[in-house]
Structure 1
């Protein structure tokens, strides 16, 4: 359209547009400077936009992130998704932005009387660290999984429960028993103990749940490392395990992969996770893409919180 303008008229429109948009002068100030009426300046600005000299773009990085959130919810049938920009992680794979977004989402779906089930691990602990303080004395935080026994490093279940309860000003019920037992008989006996059975049942009936998503590949998750014997590793590979959620292994389609650890692991049954109304999964990083997709395809999550690079990779894998 600009090609139809003579040079002098185009120069006039450019001068007025620069004064208005770049120099931030008012239309009255431009009229006084150039010797035109205010109405003439207004018409010239309208013409500058019409012929393409001025092009207004409305944009913000959050628009790009929101588009990814919509794609994730549509592709995997999620209730919600939160995608953050990529920033430097403060624990492996979890940035402060991802942890903060997960904390905000969790609070949105909780209330003073909520029962909140939690897994353990560094991602979950990072989210708890970002939780805002509340005064919810009748809220209850409950563990979905036994103790890995290394709380100084992993954000173990007992610490996670206690720390989240302190943030919310409520109560908590942790599982002060091992995540994996050496003896199958002992694992079965402990699972039948009233306190353990009641805690797991309360977790299964919770209002909201928060879990990390572990990858199974070249490296072993810190949560399961001391129990992943060469025999168990070979079995996981043979059966196609690529992820673990709440102590259970999943294949690429999100199906539960029974292993030698399963019956000795003290945690909530994977199918019970699907019964919880709102389950937030938090994970990020290239090494987590396959695992995240498995958890999504298995229908274990209601919401995913991740970063932009991971979200794009998960969606590309879904299309591929």
Structure 2
């Protein structure tokens, strides 16, 4: 039987600590440590074994998947979500973080979408990654619609009809396109465009969505973010202390949706229609979105959340 009795000799304990430090923290090999201390390699192996037996070295096996699952469950409970998923944070690459989020949402959609469902899509870099990474296990008889009119930006992730078309091709689904701008010059023009038969094909489906996939935009803007509502409107929202938006609906840090002068000129899904959607999936990455995501969760619009580990921890630190 092995002798695992406590060691009381201070000199031996000091040696065990030194050997453990060299091996585990300085990453020296057992032979390198033996050469440095002028002893045999087998003795170093014995010292490392005793260091573990004495509790000087405590090895913890960390399963990232279990850690992420625990964070997700905490998010569900804290923010009253029906589903949450946490992915790894790529600390040196926002692109890789968005890709991880996109892949997680794409796989989730493949699991849950059923024939007859109607999927609504927002635009943005993370949603673009979702669509790029769709690899459905089978075709679906579903309909896919945009949630907003087209942006005037030239970025590929802002071309919502193209995003809808790509997603529809992945699922062999039926796409519907909104061939109107996001923001028009007057309420009268907006009302006329909303009444058009081709527009009605899309907006009538906003009342029957089974899933909506949205991004969360922060204020102040982060690098690469598009001011699609115009700088003058953004400045007014900043004066109202807006911290973020979902589908062009801006809210403050308490989750109160703010009044917007341009609301009557906006072509997009309404707050009421979003609230009436059973499954609203939001995906966001990066701690710089922490305040916006926390506030978005307080609006009550979000039912499913996909975030990276760093953002999840920040959200759980918030009251």
One fold, TM greater than 0.5?
yes
Aligned residue for 1:40? Answer: none
Shift of 1:197: 3.0
Q: 1:74 to 1:240 in 2, by over 3 A?
A: same
TM-score by length of 1: 0.77
Distance 1:78 1:201 in 2: 27
**Paired residues of 2:148 and 2:178 also in contact (CA < 8 A):** yes
Distance 2:251 2:297 in 1: 11
Q: Alignment partner for residue 170 of structure 1, among 162, 168, 173?
A: 173
Aligned residue for 1:313? Answer: 314
**Paired residues of 1:134 and 1:167 also in contact (CA < 8 A):** no
Aligned residue for 1:205? Answer: 208
Q: Alignment partner for residue 186 of structure 1, among 183, 186, 189?
A: 189
Aligned residue for 1:271? Answer: 272
Q: Which runs of 5+ in 1 are unaligned?
A: 8-48
Aligned residues: 274
TM-score by length of 2: 0.77
Which stretch has the larger CA shift, 76-85 or 111-120?
A: 111-120
Q: 1:126 to 1:300 in 2, by over 3 A?
A: same
Shift of 1:287: 2.0
Shift of 1:221: 7.5
Distance 1:261 1:89 in 2: 35
Any residues of structure 2 matched to 1:114-153 within 5 Å, and which?
114-136=117-139, 138-150=141-153, 152-153=155-156
Shift of 1:210: 0.4
Aligned residue for 2:287? Answer: 286
Which stretch has the larger CA shift, 52-61 or 298-307?
A: 52-61
Q: Which runs of 5+ in 2 are unaligned?
A: 10-51
Shift of 1:76: 0.5
Q: Please give the secondary structure, in 1, of the residue aligned with 2:306.
A: strand
**Paired residues of 2:151 and 2:228 also in contact (CA < 8 A):** no
Q: Please give the secondary structure, in 1, of the residue aligned with 2:282.
A: strand
Any residues of structure 2 matched to 1:235-274 within 5 Å, and which?
235-274=236-275
Distance 1:53 1:94 in 2: 36
Q: 1:133 to 1:239 in 2, by over 3 A?
A: same
Distance 2:241 2:137 in 1: 43
Distance 1:268 1:89 in 2: 32
Distance 2:238 2:6 in 1: 68
Which stretch has the larger CA shift, 162-171 or 186-195?
A: 186-195
- Root-mean-square deviation over aligned CA pairs: 2.8
**Paired residues of 2:114 and 2:141 also in contact (CA < 8 A):** no
Distance 2:206 2:76 in 1: 25
**Paired residues of 1:158 and 1:175 also in contact (CA < 8 A):** yes
